[in-house]
Amino acid sequence: MGDFMKFCVAINCMDGRVQLPVINYLKKRFKVDYVDSVTEPGPNLLLAEQKNTEAIQSIISRANISVKKHKAVGMAVVGHHDCAGNPMSKEEQIIHLEESLTFLRKNFNLPIIALWVDENWDVQEICMKKITPKIICVGFQKTGTTSLKHALELLGYSVTGTKPKLLLPILRNNWKKVLSVLNKYDAAEDNPWNIIYRQIDHMVPGCKFILTYRDPESWFRSVKRYFRLPRSSPPLHEWIYGRGKGLISAEKDNTIRIYKKHIQGVREYFCNRPDDLLEIDLTKGDKWGPLCDFLGCDIPDIPFPHRRDSKKKKKKKRNKVHKRYRKIKKYLHYGALLQYIDMMGYPDFRRKPGTLPAVDTDSWTQERK
């Protein structure tokens, strides 16, 4: 099995009508090549009632094969219309799905979702409960943000990551566009969310914020290993670290200066609101305890996820021509976007070197939500 193959696993009904819709949905949802299927009649009822221990152990055992052997990156439990194995109403089946999720999350350390297949065999992801308040990770890249993302997903949060396409709406003060993306999720991490925390706090009252951090020298070594030296600087990096300073692995002094100023700025902003900010160094000590205390939830009986450890990272095998094409396409896009930004003369790209973006000024154009 090649390193490039990615899997997820579906705990699905044996009904043949739901197999392809679920497989097609999960391939897009988890960005995988293959979906391993564990089938039983009415699996959501089996997992919710937990009466048939033999069937439940069989489901867990087969799902574990996908998780351990295929390194599945996600899991789904499925209910559907006209199910012979669980002939209950949709409302009752959704309750079964919620109870199934609770059970599965105690047994597996990966993101798990619930799906409903309706009478037209269309797949819908079921949001069991609207989690409030929203959680915003304000830590910089390589401070454990990916591990935090997976931890929040294990706790039931839907989490969005980096959104480079939001840079132009931010520069244009189009906060309606930014909110339209944020409102689809329970939590957000990575760029640009970590920079616009003041705006989010202003527009979406009640949010909670998490500052992940680590020793600056250790952080920069990780940054240097991860980003190396691209031929063109990502516009988001040019925005955060300053025009001409976006090749962050080659600009150690400026990169660390911006990193420290960001942490200082977050602490000063929340200095009188200790209940709204959690500071956590994910390279040390207990992780679940402080996080779950802050969020007001129970500590799961599974290890805290650790993702993208630079010492353990394996390179994916990719076609060299395809990889080179993708790089060229990306660099051309970077260059064109930066030229457009320079032409438009956005103030954040003309600021004094060594300072953070000035989006924290009182220039919001949208009303509080």
**CA max distance for the chain:** 67
Does residue 47 contact residue 100 with C-beta atoms inside 8 Å? yes
Does residue 157 contact residue 112 with C-beta atoms inside 8 Å? no
Model-wide pTM > 0.75: no
Instruction: Report how far apart, in Å, the C-alpha atoms of 30 and of each of 55, 136, 163, 209 are.
Output: 26, 22, 17, 26
49-69: pLDDT as tens digits: 999 999 999 999 999 999 999
Q: Give the pLDDT score at 360.
A: 45
Burial 213-223 (b: 16+ CB within 10 A, else e): bbeeeebbebb
Helices (H) and strands (E) in the chain, counts: 13, 10
Domains in the chain, CATH or no CATH each: 7-125 (3.40.1050.10), 135-349 (3.40.50.300)
- Reported in sequence order, the residue ranges of 177-309 that DSSP labels E, i.e. its strands, are 187-188, 208-212, 277-280
Per-residue pLDDT of the chain (369 residues; tens, 9 = 90+): 445 689 999 999 999 999 999 999 999 988 899 999 999 999 999 999 999 999 999 999 999 999 999 999 899 999 999 999 999 999 999 999 989 988 898 888 788 889 999 999 999 988 655 566 899 999 999 999 999 999 998 888 889 999 999 999 999 889 999 999 998 888 999 999 999 999 999 988 899 999 999 999 999 999 988 887 666 688 989 999 988 888 888 889 999 999 999 999 999 999 999 999 999 999 887 789 999 999 988 888 788 887 654 444 444 455 666 666 676 677 777 888 888 888 888 877 767 766 777 664 444 333 333
Does residue 196 contact residue 179 with C-beta atoms inside 8 Å? no
Q: Give the pLDDT score at 362.
A: 45
Q: Is the dihedral of CA 194, 109, 68, 280 positive or negative?
A: positive
3-37: pLDDT as tens digits: 568 999 999 999 999 999 999 999 998 889 999 99
Residues 6+ away with beta carbon under 8 Å from 161: 145, 146, 149, 188, 189, 190
Q: Give the pLDDT score at 229.
A: 64
Does residue 74 contact residue 110 with C-beta atoms inside 8 Å? yes
Distance CA 255, CA 363 (A): 26
Q: Report the amino acid identity of residue 353.
A: P
Does residue 73 contact residue 30 with C-beta atoms inside 8 Å? yes
